[in-house]
Amino acid sequence: MADDGGGDRDDGDDVNATPDDGVDTGTTPDANSFETPVRRGSVDLRTRDGEAVHHDEAFVRYEREAFVVSTDGSFAGERTERYPKSVVAWIQVRHPRR
């Protein structure tokens, strides 16, 4: 279906963003050995049980089973939090202004 230019295109901050959305800031392999976009910005998420979580200046990687948030782009274990998709109600990444 062709885009008529008046569609409901968002700003690319949804959980279904792909590298073709023009929002990735690089790629890194995940545990399942395929490339996923790495995004940088502040992260807000809410779990299904109502817990609100905020990360400033974080890197986010999407894996098949989890959202991975880290304070550095290498995703070192001690600086990384994994949020299983089954417990996340929503997630938002706000990209830094340039």
The secondary structure of 16-65 as a DSSP string is T--GGGT----EEE-TTSSEEEEEEEEEEEEETTS-EEEEEEEEEEE-SS
Q: Does position 58 have pLDDT exceeding 90, yes or no?
A: yes
Question: What pLDDT is attached to residue 96?
Answer: 79
Res 92 pLDDT > 90:
yes
Could you give the domains of the chain? 26-94 (2.30.30)
pTM equals 0.62
| pLDDT above 80: residue 20 | no
More confident residue, 3 or 89: 89
